[in-house]
Amino acid sequence: MEQHKYNIIDIARLAQVSTATVSRVLHEKGGYSKETETRVRRVIAECGFQLNKNAQGLRTQKSRNIGVIVPDITNEFFARIIRYLELFFLKHQYSVLICDSHEDIEIEQLHIRNLKEQQVEGIIYISGRNANPIQESAFSIPIVYIDRKPEDVHIFVHSDNRQGGYLAARELIEKQCRSILFLRDQKKASTIRQRRSGYLEALEEAGIAFQESWEIMTKSDYASVFKTVTNLLMQKGCFFDGVFATNDNMALACLHALHAQHIQVPDQVKIVGFDNVSISQFCHPALTTITQNTELMAEAAGDALLKRIHHELDKQEFIIPVSLCVREST
Amino acid sequence: MEQHKYNIIDIARLAQVSTATVSRVLHEKGGYSKETETRVRRVIAECGFQLNKNAQGLRTQKSRNIGVIVPDITNEFFARIIRYLELFFLKHQYSVLICDSHEDIEIEQLHIRNLKEQQVEGIIYISGRNANPIQESAFSIPIVYIDRKPEDVHIFVHSDNRQGGYLAARELIEKQCRSILFLRDQKKASTIRQRRSGYLEALEEAGIAFQESWEIMTKSDYASVFKTVTNLLMQKGCFFDGVFATNDNMALACLHALHAQHIQVPDQVKIVGFDNVSISQFCHPALTTITQNTELMAEAAGDALLKRIHHELDKQEFIIPVSLCVREST
DNA sequence: ATGAAAGCGCTAACAG
DNA sequence: CTGTTAGCGCTTTCAT
């Protein structure tokens, strides 16, 4: 194959036209005859010409790049959103620059600096459960937030967490649970608050009085949850017959802790998780859980960002519906 | 904050120097007095000036971008490699453009076209277990392959799969297994072939004669593996006391299939997986597995690519050591 | 130690 | 329908 990299001037020369015409053909702007078009296209194909995005971006002041900042790409839930985001923007001829912040403020700053240098036209900020206190002003670039409500006014999209909490609790109640733990991350986040209120709503609807002792706070990693649940069992026995955990990993740790104490799931205790990541389907018994629609979330965020870039949107909140996925743990 | 975007000319004017000097300060090239330096730096800081990578790339013909193509970012093993790659290149002032091919040749082409337009200086191609037959020539851009041996000469890095297979089988043998299944993806891939040969080596070393019926081929998704193992159990009973699965997901499916037939792990059958993804640590019983060192893989690949870009490397194979992680399934 | 100026590849306004 | 040309922001050679 050709070693030399062709530019638009080479193409113009070879096709015996001006660079303007080549550019017009390239972008299907019209204003050229059928013959010139075919001639130009043929030369482009023959040379394997590729547009130089740097030059284009410099000239047009539009990079067609957008940045995505995520706390941990290794987390399946985030990875899924990113996947759909990429697909969405590919369709719209934008490139996506993915930045894993490792929940480290310095790395995040480095990434943001880089995104600005890359002239991104917009940023999607996925904060997830572990919201960092980032600076939001001082930003002339449009930002769409996923999963986290920023302090000042902005665009953000998130699941219908309240509904999720409600569906989870209702499922447990329908399966005859009367003492339902709310096993949650100790961090305070709007997502958790919303899930809690849905859970409370379902309890109330069923005429079940919420007990303070049902709300179990813990660090959200597997080992911590396992220990918390085990301690609970040791100290107070199995005084509950249902658990709503605020994510699948916590639900799984809870499941194993119960199992280790010879408590049967779902016979003695039923469990509902949140997220519907693959682990919930491949554990034993498979977890009933709340599905967050990552595809819809990504599309809503992408749409919103594009609109924002084109000044067709100022501020808005997008709430993505969730659904109950019943498996073996209830 | 300032709304206007400053460029190097603005800075030059404000600092009463030429753009050349600003550029020199920016890149610490020397050739300026202490005073000018401080003056320039102050202006830069005050304005929040950010370099324009498009212009820089255009002028220098170096984008400082590298592309990473991956079949599925949702797969934790790949996601971990990406994470480390990002970190590595961040350190080296390169941006990483991550492309999820969805194992779809068309999407991959789109991504490759985009990477070329972005003027990437190199590409890291992670093919994983599901190698696509991609075009490798017709490429003037340096490529480093991870996990897959390309047909023509190139740079590639992969785990010591043979050693992994050997360690897995030896662990099983040491724990008194004498009939050890090799549960593998039906696809033929160099990684699997290597793991197989390590497994055979360990058997031979222990004086165990390999039986054809021990090699179980199956599609690698959870449901298929579950079905395959279940069928095996139905038809031939539990004629084995150990299983070496070529990845953790398969090992997990096997574990659950055994469990469903009331076969105890590790009492009756012991299992070793491969990869050491988080699921292997959070399942019950936790899986003994072979750890692939994703960090080292990423660093080797990054190093190699950088060297290749600077013409300091032509062709080479990098083999990354693996290790045995003993947990509860053996 | 510093500045002037050319030019990277492309687009778009303007001229014809 | 097509061409000419200025200029996007930056680096770098050559002068001074």
If DSSP codes are grouped into helix, strand and coil, which group holds residue B171? helix
Cross-chain Cβ contact A86/B99 below 8 Å? yes
Distance of residue B74 Cα from the nearest chain A Cα, in angstroms: 5
Cross-chain Cβ contact B53/A117 below 8 Å? yes
Confidence of residue B315 (pLDDT cuts 50, 70, 90): confident
Sequence-separated (6 or more) residues with CB below 8 Å from residue B104: none
Cβ–Cβ contact B86 with A under 8 A: yes
Strand D nucleotides in reach of protein CB atoms, 7 A cut-off: 1-5, 7-13
- On whether residue B2 sits in a domain, the answer given is no
> Residue A35's CB: how many other CB atoms inside 10 A?
8
Cβ–Cβ contact B87 with A under 8 A: yes
Same domain, B23 and B47: yes
pLDDT above 60 (res A70): yes
Average pLDDT, chain B: 92
- Chain A's closest residue to B285, CA to CA, is A256
- On whether residue A329 sits in a domain, the answer given is no
If DSSP codes are grouped into helix, strand and coil, which group holds residue A27? coil
If DSSP codes are grouped into helix, strand and coil, which group holds residue B219? coil
Same domain, A69 and A26: no
Same domain, A139 and A97: yes
Spell out which residues of A between 227 and 256 contact strand C, using CB within 7 Å: none
Confidence of residue B130 (pLDDT cuts 50, 70, 90): low
pLDDT above 60 (res B300): yes
Domain count, chain A: 3
Whether the link from the prior residue into A285 is cis, omega within 30° of 0, is yes
- On whether residue B278 sits in a domain, the answer given is yes
Same domain, A178 and A222: yes
Per CB-CB distance under 8 Å, the chain A contacts of B140 are 1, 3, 5
> Residue A147's CB: how many other CB atoms inside 10 A?
25
Per CB-CB distance under 8 Å, the chain B contacts of A97 are 95, 97
> Strand D closer than 7 Å to the CB of B47?
no
Same domain, B196 and B286: yes
Same domain, A176 and A201: yes
Contact A181, A152 (CB under 8 A): no
Per CB-CB distance under 8 Å, the chain B contacts of A60 are none
pLDDT in tens, A192-203: 999 999 999 999
Please state the rounded mean pLDDT for residues B116-131: 84
Same domain, A154 and A302: yes
- On whether residue B135 sits in a domain, the answer given is yes
Contact B298, B88 (CB under 8 A): yes
Query: How far apart are the C-alpha atoms of B99 and B120, rounded to whole Å?
Result: 13
What's the confidence (pLDDT) of residue B154? 82
If DSSP codes are grouped into helix, strand and coil, which group holds residue B317? strand
Distance of residue A18 Cα from the nearest chain B Cα, in angstroms: 21
- CATH number of the CATH domain containing A238: 3.40.50.2300
pLDDT above 80 (res B150): no
- Sign of the torsion angle spanned by Cα atoms B230, B236, B237, B238: negative
- CATH number of the CATH domain containing A40: 1.10.260.40
Domain that holds residue B218: 161-291
Confidence of residue A129 (pLDDT cuts 50, 70, 90): low
Interface subset of A 95-154, CB within 8 angstroms of B:
95-100, 102, 107, 110-111, 113-114, 116-119, 137-140
- On whether residue B80 sits in a domain, the answer given is yes
pLDDT in tens, A84-105: 999 999 999 999 999 999 988 8
Same domain, A150 and A199: no
Confidence of residue A148 (pLDDT cuts 50, 70, 90): confident
Same domain, A224 and A269: yes
Say how far B82 CA is from C7 C1', in Å: 37
pLDDT in tens, B159-213: 999 999 999 999 999 999 999 999 999 988 889 999 999 999 999 999 999 999 9
> Strand D closer than 7 Å to the CB of A32?
yes
pLDDT in tens, B269-286: 999 999 999 999 999 899
Query: What percentage of chain A's residues is helix, strand, coil (to nearest 5)?
Result: 45, 20, 35
Q: Which residues pair with B97 in a beta bridge?
A: B67
Nucleotide nearest B36 (Cα, C1'): C1
pLDDT in tens, B4-27: 789 999 999 999 999 999 999 999
> Strand C closer than 7 Å to the CB of B38?
no
Confidence of residue B1 (pLDDT cuts 50, 70, 90): very low
- On whether residue B59 sits in a domain, the answer given is no
What's the confidence (pLDDT) of residue B75? 93
Same domain, B230 and B310: no
Say how far B104 CA is from D12 C1', in Å: 44
Of A102, B46, A137, A107, the residue nearest A115 (C-alpha): A107
pLDDT in tens, A246-297: 999 999 999 999 999 999 999 999 999 999 999 999 998 999 999 999 999 9
Whether the link from the prior residue into B266 is cis, omega within 30° of 0, is yes
Confidence of residue A1 (pLDDT cuts 50, 70, 90): very low
Same domain, B237 and B309: no
Query: How far apart are the C-alpha atoms of B77 and B113, rounded to whole Å?
Result: 26
Cross-chain Cβ contact A249/B116 below 8 Å? no
What's the confidence (pLDDT) of residue B132? 56
Percent of chain B with pLDDT strictly greater than 90: 85
- pTM comes to 0.93
- On whether residue B77 sits in a domain, the answer given is yes
Residue A315 to residues A69, A82, A143, A147, A155, Cα–Cα distance (Å): 20, 22, 11, 15, 5
- On whether residue A1 sits in a domain, the answer given is no
Interface subset of A 5-64, CB within 8 angstroms of B:
5, 48, 50-55, 57-58, 63
Which of B2, B54, B91, B140 to mutate: most A Cβ within 10 Å?
Answer: B54
Spell out which residues of A between 55 and 94 contact strand C, using CB within 7 Å: 55-56, 58-60
Same domain, B165 and B285: yes
Tell me how far the alpha carbon of residue B142 is from its chain's centroid: 18
What's the confidence (pLDDT) of residue A131? 54
Residue A6 to residues A9, A45, A49, Cα–Cα distance (Å): 8, 11, 6
Say how far A56 CA is from C5 C1', in Å: 23
